Chains A and B, each alone.
Chain A
Amino acid sequence: MSFVPGLGLVKGMSLTLRRFFEPKATVRYPEVPADVSVKFRGRLQLLLDEHGALKCETCFQCAQACPIECIDMGGMDTKGRFHVHWGPPETYGERREESALRRSGRTVPDPSFASFTREDVDPLDEVLDQYDYDPKRMLEILEATQAIYGHLPVAAIKKISQATGAWYAMIYGTASYYGHLHFESPQAEAQVAAMAARRPSESTYLDRLGASLDGTSPSGAAPS
């Protein structure tokens, strides 16, 4: 609040007048075409839904469909490790669980803040050699990798990507589909509530089916 009466008004008006006579930056689109390359298709960006969860399903349809392979999927976590995004092996089931958690207002623990352990990727050489550096045998390579580390460390995926020439994103997309492949050690997954809510296993299904047949279903309580 100024003590000189009218000073605020003068200040305000002076800004208005200054801006009024300045050259304008507004492009009268669409009357005046914007000056961008004819190839420009807008910025590629992943959107968030109203609950702040990533809308992208990591299904890789866009990356696989893109004729000039300009779409790849990736990102950095807070430790500079390369990721598509964090989460359990997923199909739609798990993403639903994770966004349900977000919607509930509880914080989703972020494993990217967990302590960073350096992985020794040398044992991978033998695996890659055994499978002939062949990206067509990716599932076998990933299974052999998981047999070494107990899960698929980022550093290992990165190395597999470099050695086989398969995109990191494609490897991630493959690994995230299969229920038996994991991105985090079992201990780390146990710490993260969202990760525990993975796609129901076959035995979970059989239990639920059995309970339904016995008339003892805990129904109505399922997440939606």
Chain B
Amino acid sequence: MSLLATPKGWPTILLEVAPAVARFGGLRRAIRELGPAGTIAEIAAAGLRGRGGSGYASADKWRAAAAAGQELGPRVSRYVVVNAYGADPSSLTDRTLLAENPSAVVEGAAIAAWAIGAEEAIIAVRAGESAAIAALEAAAADARAAGLLGEAIAGTTRRLEIDIRTVQGAYMLGEETVLIKALEGKRGQPEQRPPHPAEDGLWGAPTVVQNAQTAAAAAWILRHSAAEFRATGTADEPGTILVDVRGPAGGGIAEVPFGTPLADIVALAGGVPTTTKGGTAAKKGPAADAGAGRPIKAVLVGGPSGGILPADHLSTPYTYEALRAAGAHIGSGSVIVADDRACVVDLARVLTRYCADEACGKTIPCRIGTRRLAEMGERLAAGTSRAGDLDLIITLADDITGSALCDHERLATLPLRSGLRYFGPEVEAHLEQGICPAGVCRPIALGRAATTAVAPTSSPATTSPA
């Protein structure tokens, strides 16, 4: 997938390929100038947060892993795992990063390993991504040639190795405890946390799991400075993140600063919002154009377990906090624009079914909860809902969120939840009148097609069947 052109003035951090002279400069600085504690302090000062979905402060993880097992002496094994799996099929952000800037990922992995006292960093890549794997191998070989990997790195007595491992075969491998299981050669089901991997991770050793973009950001911070990093993004969430934007008019990968309004991200994919003034203007008339002349109906933010936000929420800043409050999440960095051809019920149904099918089966909320949720979504779309289904969706979603073992089940409730929250009338039309206003859901829409007999391009929301 192609890189999208971003407006002038947007910084390039994750995709900044260091010039030859400055290559691995961050790692050198960490080793020669800062030392492990100083490196962690620099990351803390930069306010770096994980780019893999949870937005957890990286420095806290590193500190915890560096401190864990200290009583066992200086030679206790620790690991760094860089999560470059990219679980969401509809987001190619991490894969793009590996292709565009492999040395930053390798450098970031090495920096993290240096900081926490690990001798081995594993970069977990999707099997089959042979170009990315080759690029990573080449970058690691360069670092080794520069004396930054191997037995005694950069004049110290420390050993540091980078291992590129391939994993494949399930969506859940993106979740950190599942990824660790896969690296251990086990069935991929999540573990209860705490203990967090920082204390009890790969082979029971303290392990820092960090997304590939987080690693690249860490490398940039040490190449430049924490203060420079803080100049981008918001105060709480500095820096940039890669997004995968898709819309009717096209799409691609872009690096965006945290806090960018969703509208600006959507605009990158060719959807041109007419206004960012506010909700009221946007609500009436064709508020925002999804490209190809159709109005934006909704934006799916966060991948298969993302939230479906209406067009009047396009002013929401792209941050962990704001999206969470809106009922979505950054997740895989996926932003998908739906125009008025899409039906929110159908969209939520497809998403929830995928989440249920990919649920690992370990716990009841995961095995049975997500499945019941998907069935209720399917009943809504099929026009066979039972009395009380809407309440049941909310109650069940609350129960799943409350009792889930891993975040997958929690997040899997978002498509239906956000659908109910923002598109109440559309959902109720399915439930109470048995019609699909967008004319998508077949069993109900068939009746509509028979009564109205219009071309599918007619404005769907205005024609109401008998």
B382 contacts the other chain (CB 8 A): yes
Interface residues of A in 183-206 (CB under 8 A from B): 199-200, 202-203, 205-206
Q: Is the CB of B169 within 8 A of A177?
A: yes
B358 contacts the other chain (CB 8 A): yes
Given A136-B185, A219-B346, A220-B442, verify A178-B381 contact (CB < 8 Å).
Answer: no
Q: Within the assembled complex, what's the spacing in Å between the Cα atoms of A137 and B339?
A: 47
Residues of chain A within 8 A of B456, CB atoms compared: 215
Interface readout for A117-142 with B: 1 if CB under 8 Å, 0 if not?
00000000000000000011111110
Interface residues of B in 303-362 (CB under 8 A from A): 304, 336, 338-339, 341-343, 346-347, 349-351, 353-354, 356-362
Interface-lining segment among A27-35, A42-50, A56-64, A104-112:
A56-64
Given A136-B184, A177-B187, verify A220-B342 contact (CB < 8 Å).
Answer: no
B186 contacts the other chain (CB 8 A): yes
A37 contacts the other chain (CB 8 A): no
**Which one of B127, B185, B361, B440 contacts A219 once the chains associate, using CB atoms below 8 Å?**
B440
B239 contacts the other chain (CB 8 A): no
Q: Which of A59, A174, A212, A216 has the most CB of B within 10 A?
A: A212
Interface readout for A163-188 with B: 1 if CB under 8 Å, 0 if not?
00000001001101111110000000
Q: Which of B89, B336, B357 has the most CB of A within 10 A?
A: B357
Q: Is the CB of B343 within 8 A of A217?
A: yes
A78 contacts the other chain (CB 8 A): no
In the complex, the chain A residue whose C-beta lies closest to that of B248 is A213
A67 contacts the other chain (CB 8 A): no
Interface readout for A50-86 with B: 1 if CB under 8 Å, 0 if not?
0000000101110000000000000000000000000
Main DSSP-derived SS at the A contact region: helix
Q: Is the CB of A206 within 8 A of B90?
A: yes
B378 contacts the other chain (CB 8 A): yes
A93 contacts the other chain (CB 8 A): yes
A4 contacts the other chain (CB 8 A): no
In the complex, the chain A residue whose C-beta lies closest to that of B372 is A224
Q: Is the CB of A215 within 8 A of B371?
A: no
Least CB distance from A136 to B in Å reads 6
**Which one of A92, A135, A178 contacts B361 once the chains associate, using CB atoms below 8 Å?**
A92
Given A93-B357, A140-B185, A220-B443, verify A205-B382 contact (CB < 8 Å).
Answer: no
B383 contacts the other chain (CB 8 A): yes
B441 contacts the other chain (CB 8 A): yes
In the complex, the chain B residue whose C-beta lies closest to that of A180 is B169
Residues of chain B within 8 A of A224, CB atoms compared: 374-375, 378-379
Residues of chain A within 8 A of B358, CB atoms compared: 91, 93, 199
B101 contacts the other chain (CB 8 A): no
Q: Within the assembled complex, what's the spacing in Å between the Cα atoms of A171 and B440?
A: 44
Q: Is the CB of A214 within 8 A of B341?
A: yes
Q: Is the CB of B170 within 8 A of A91?
A: yes
In the complex, the chain B residue whose C-beta lies closest to that of A58 is B361
A209 contacts the other chain (CB 8 A): yes
In the complex, the chain B residue whose C-beta lies closest to that of A208 is B350
B83 contacts the other chain (CB 8 A): no
A10 contacts the other chain (CB 8 A): no
Least CB distance from A163 to B in Å reads 14
Interface readout for B364-395 with A: 1 if CB under 8 Å, 0 if not?
00010001001100110111100000000000
Interface residues of B in 372-428 (CB under 8 A from A): 374-375, 378-379, 381-384
In the complex, the chain B residue whose C-beta lies closest to that of A60 is B187
Residues of chain A within 8 A of B168, CB atoms compared: 178-180
Least CB distance from A153 to B in Å reads 19
B302 contacts the other chain (CB 8 A): no
Residues of chain A within 8 A of B185, CB atoms compared: 135-141, 174
Q: Is the CB of B438 within 8 A of A209?
A: no
Interface residues of B in 169-212 (CB under 8 A from A): 169-171, 182, 184-189, 203
A218 contacts the other chain (CB 8 A): yes
A102 contacts the other chain (CB 8 A): no
Given A59-B362, A177-B187, A220-B381, verify A212-B357 contact (CB < 8 Å).
Answer: no
Q: Is the CB of A219 within 8 A of B382?
A: yes
**Which one of A173, A179, A214 contacts B169 once the chains associate, using CB atoms below 8 Å?**
A179
Q: Is the CB of A217 within 8 A of B440?
A: yes
B439 contacts the other chain (CB 8 A): yes
Q: Within the assembled complex, what's the spacing in Å between the Cα atoms of A206 and B334?
A: 13
Given A92-B357, A199-B357, A209-B90, verify A217-B187 contact (CB < 8 Å).
Answer: no
Interface residues of B (CB under 8 A from A): 89-90, 127, 167-171, 182, 184-189, 203, 248, 304, 336, 338-339, 341-343, 346-347, 349-351, 353-354, 356-362, 367, 371, 374-375, 378-379, 381-384, 438-444, 456
Q: 21 A-B Cβ contacts within 8 A?
A: A60-B187, A92-B360, A93-B357, A93-B358, A177-B170, A178-B169, A178-B188, A179-B169, A199-B358, A209-B350, A212-B342, A212-B343, A214-B341, A217-B440, A219-B343, A219-B346, A219-B381, A220-B383, A220-B441, A220-B443, A221-B442
Interface residues of A (CB under 8 A from B): 57, 59-61, 91-93, 96, 135-141, 170, 173-174, 176-181, 199-200, 202-203, 205-206, 208-209, 212-222, 224
The 10 closest A-B CB pairs, nearest first, are A178-B169, A220-B382, A215-B341, A138-B185, A93-B357, A202-B89, A219-B381, A139-B185, A179-B169, A220-B443
Extra contacts, 12 of them, besides A61-B362, A206-B90, A219-B349 (Cβ < 8 A), are A60-B187, A136-B185, A138-B185, A139-B186, A178-B169, A178-B188, A206-B89, A212-B350, A213-B248, A215-B342, A215-B439, A220-B444
